[in-house]
Structure 1
Amino acid sequence: MAKLQQYLTWPAALLIAGLTTGCNAQTEPANSAKAAQSSETSKTSQSYQLERVARLQEPWAMAELPDGRLLITEKRGRLKLFNPSNKLLLEVKGVPKVAYGGQGGLGDVALHPQFAQNRWVYLSYVEAGTGGYGAVVARAELDLKDAAQPQLKNIQQIWAQVPKVPGQGHYAHRLLFDQAGYLWVSSGERQKFDPAQDLNSNLGKILRLNADGSAAPDNPFRAQGQIAAQVWSLGHRNPLGMAFDPAGQLWVIEMGPKGGDELNRIEKGANYGYPLVSNGDHYSGQPIPDHATRPEFKAPELDWTPVISPSSLIFYRGDQFPQWKNKAIAGGLSSQTIIVIDTQAQPVREVQRLDMKQRIRGVIEARDGHLWVIEDGKGASLLKMTAK
């Protein structure tokens, strides 16, 4: 009750336990199926409470430093350093200039696996250039010696979307390191459709790179050229979340067109079919053949119509939320939800849907097992989610 009194300005609905569930409800289950689903939900639903700890302007991504402080990107080109112990929010100097507009600006932030030794921080952002716009990735050293003025030094741009094209949508540009130290980049097809199937472009692909941005060894298309050498999988639309499950399997969640948001199990060299197949249709109303019509393309493990507009993806490994342990957690934009998914179930299924009443841009797990959540848009909140 003391926490509720402390945050009287926060909507009460967001401070109570969230027990709403949702499955990929394209069909209505029979009564017996509903009963079984209700029984299973009682085993997976997790109560929680939320605390607003800071206000941000169009936040896009977060990363937790070894000391518990957070790096938070804001689309207009600001990188913030947040200290949970005293709620101090500082701006990190030295961020590269970004092309802000539409879905573009400063994007993801990730720490090198040996950050404690090399201080390397990786940023994705959008730049303007010949042909239009494109996402790039840069790395820099994070200098925290001056407690009052954190800054980036020795910035190096290491990767770029090819080609730059008109428009400011579908950059994706999520960043993720694996245990071997390879850098994974999700690259959207930039609302241009065909590049997702073209190995002369790295748009509409999942890419596996060395830490310096060069193509990683043993990528499946190395023999087909310098750009193709970066590619791990193709046929993606706007992949906005990437995460490894506890077994080391990579999963990607991506926005479909009008319907058909996808959760994909990523396999080496696999083609996920966009724009030739999708379980949604074009916004123009023109139909797209479903995955079932083209078995040569890899179908999603789970898809959503109506869409959830996925924004991010993690696998929860902590103990604070035992019902979510080893499950995928996705943020939802238009759905204003956080969605919990059991990827070990056969078939893969959604097991809980949290009604957040705000567009959710990102979720990460803190070292002590609670969750940090950022809302989307101007005046968005940084939320601390703990078990209730």
Structure 2
Amino acid sequence: MKKLKYLLFLLAIAGVQAAQAQPFERREIMQFEQPWAMTFLPDGRLLVTEKPGRLILVSLDDNEQTEVANVPSVDYGGQGGLGDIILHPDYAVNKLVYLSYAEAGENNTRGAVVIRAKLILDKNAGTASLTQIERIWTQHPKVTGRGHYGHRLAFDQHGFLFISSGERQKFDPSQDMNANLGKIIRLHADGSVPQDNPFYADGGIASQVWSLGHRNPLGLAFDAKGRLWNSEMGPLHGDEFNLVKESENYGYPIVSNGDHYNGDPIPDHDTRPEFEAPAAYWVPSIAPAEVIYYSGSVFPEWQGSFLIAGLKSQAIIRVTTNGETAQEVERFNMGARIREIEQGPDGAVWVLEDGSNAKLLKLTPKDQTILAFLPAVLAGSESKQQTKRQD
């Protein structure tokens, strides 16, 4: 009986520690080749982009994959390829989806583009395809290199489309209003420019800009109040979580809480108060990718929090906000680079790992039944021991 009691005690301690460290079960659904983004359709099926250029329709009932036809050719290499996928707010009616990807230009240059298209699903034939493809935004100018495209997409509650545009590892374009690199862009759903954009009167590229001074923004999410937040790769450390405000300048490359990769220092944000400082930042780097605002009931303790996918950190980072400030409150080690994170229709959290043979994981709460039962078992064991001694 003593051995059983001791074993149960160890199991209880181990279970409590595991629950505190990672309060979810993870179930592997399937694997993908370099996945980058995903989004759920109203019928519960899933669309997944793979960076080499495939868009895949996934039926989660039978784990069947169908490649979507007519996806434009992408410039695959480095950080470039097929990127984000989101639905139009009225997708149930118009069947429009939005895709971002890298395309080649002249003289070994590249840039991100955003298209919208109608998604045609034929259940009887088991096929899926894109039609009526329209280009609605282009990164300008196209430059050499294959890094820092950004190209995350998000619709706000009013139907405006926001696009994150990386500075393509060229630094200075983040501050150049004749380029839309290193910016957050705001457009109508058809790609036209809203007249109430902060720099609309300046015309041209500047009219698209919502905010500037960004480096490589790889996540966009709106909170319950409709405020836009972004997760952003810093240089050597100094990764950022920003409340994205209209017309504000976030300072890159003039200021950063990280340094250049060659070791040259960059002045911190607090040395230049005219630039908007991050709500939270990380030294050392977490290498943030996508971010979501969690509103589901499956994980009630996460409601109102942001969940950030961590690449180098191989983690999911939970962040809470208080007004315009933010802080990391939990970090869950996932043992692999995490590229994408989404809230499913039922409130479960879905995760895509990064790279080859990357897993699609479904996170659900751990079953606490055994842990709840153990104290009673231990108490019963103790009572029996006391009775035996009294006899």
- Per the normalisation by structure 2, the TM-score is 0.87
Aligned residue in 1 for 2:380: none
Partner amino acid, structure 2, of 1:296? E
Pairwise CA RMSD: 1.4
> Identity rate of aligned residues, in percent?
56
CA distance in 2 between partners of 1:77 and 1:202 (Å): 24
1:348 aligned counterpart, secondary structure: strand
Partner amino acid, structure 2, of 1:138? I
In structure 2, stretches of 5+ residues that fail to align are 1-16, 367-391
2:362 corresponds to 1:381: no
2:136 corresponds to 1:158: yes
Change (3 A) 1:87 1:272: same
2:344 corresponds to 1:366: yes
Aligned residue in 1 for 2:309: 331
Aligned with residue 81 of structure 1, among 28, 50, 57: 57
CA distance in 1 between partners of 2:336 and 2:37 (Å): 16
2:118 corresponds to 1:141: yes
Change (3 A) 1:347 1:156: closer
What are the within-5 Å matches in structure 2 for residues 1-388 of structure 1? 17=18, 19-20=20-21, 47-131=23-107, 132-147=109-124, 148-344=126-322, 347-388=325-366
CA distance in 2 between partners of 1:64 and 1:326 (Å): 21
CA distance in 2 between partners of 1:17 and 1:233 (Å): 41
The answer (yes or no) to whether the contact 2:154–2:162 under 8 Å persists in 1 is: yes
How far is the alpha carbon of 1:146 from its aligned partner?
4.1
The answer (yes or no) to whether the contact 2:186–2:208 under 8 Å persists in 1 is: yes
The answer (yes or no) to whether the contact 1:19–1:354 under 8 Å persists in 2 is: no
1:213 aligned counterpart, secondary structure: coil
1:343 aligned counterpart, secondary structure: strand
What do residues 23-50 of structure 1 show as CA deviations (whole Å, max 9, x unaligned)? Answer: xxxxxxxxxxxxxxxxxxxxxxx61010
Change (3 A) 1:92 1:346: closer
How far is the alpha carbon of 1:225 from its aligned partner?
2.1
CA distance in 1 between partners of 2:25 and 2:43 (Å): 24
Change (3 A) 1:114 1:275: same
CA distance in 2 between partners of 1:351 and 1:68 (Å): 31
CA distance in 2 between partners of 1:287 and 1:47 (Å): 39
2:92 aligned counterpart, secondary structure: helix
The answer (yes or no) to whether the contact 1:262–1:303 under 8 Å persists in 2 is: yes
How far is the alpha carbon of 1:223 from its aligned partner?
1.5
What do residues 174-216 of structure 1 show as CA deviations (whole Å, max 9, x unaligned)? Answer: 0001111111000000000000000000000000001111212
How far is the alpha carbon of 1:154 from its aligned partner?
1.1
What do residues 343-368 of structure 1 show as CA deviations (whole Å, max 9, x unaligned)? Answer: 12785211110100000000000111
Partner amino acid, structure 1, of 2:72? P
The answer (yes or no) to whether the contact 2:289–2:340 under 8 Å persists in 1 is: yes
CA distance in 1 between partners of 2:365 and 2:280 (Å): 27
Partner amino acid, structure 2, of 1:106? L
The answer (yes or no) to whether the contact 1:200–1:225 under 8 Å persists in 2 is: no
The answer (yes or no) to whether the contact 2:279–2:324 under 8 Å persists in 1 is: no
What do residues 123-148 of structure 1 show as CA deviations (whole Å, max 9, x unaligned)? Answer: 00000012500000001100012441
CA distance in 1 between partners of 2:296 and 2:144 (Å): 42
Moved over 6 A (4+): none
2:322 aligned counterpart, secondary structure: coil
- Per the normalisation by structure 1, the TM-score is 0.88
Aligned residue in 1 for 2:12: none
Change (3 A) 1:341 1:176: same
The answer (yes or no) to whether the contact 1:254–1:310 under 8 Å persists in 2 is: yes
The answer (yes or no) to whether the contact 1:196–1:275 under 8 Å persists in 2 is: yes
CA distance in 1 between partners of 2:19 and 2:213 (Å): 35
In structure 1, stretches of 5+ residues that fail to align are 1-15, 21-45
How far is the alpha carbon of 1:307 from its aligned partner?
0.4
Structure index of larger Rg = 2
How far is the alpha carbon of 1:17 from its aligned partner?
4.8
The answer (yes or no) to whether the contact 2:243–2:324 under 8 Å persists in 1 is: no
What do residues 234-278 of structure 1 show as CA deviations (whole Å, max 9, x unaligned)? Answer: 000000001001111100110000010000011110000000000
1:228 aligned counterpart, secondary structure: helix
What do residues 70-122 of structure 1 show as CA deviations (whole Å, max 9, x unaligned)? Answer: 00000010001111111111111110000000000000001000001100000
CA distance in 2 between partners of 1:193 and 1:345 (Å): 30
Partner amino acid, structure 2, of 1:386? T
Partner amino acid, structure 2, of 1:102? G
CA distance in 1 between partners of 2:157 and 2:317 (Å): 26
2:207 aligned counterpart, secondary structure: helix
Q: Give the number of the structure whose residues are more often helix, by fraction.
A: 2
The answer (yes or no) to whether the contact 2:228–2:243 under 8 Å persists in 1 is: yes
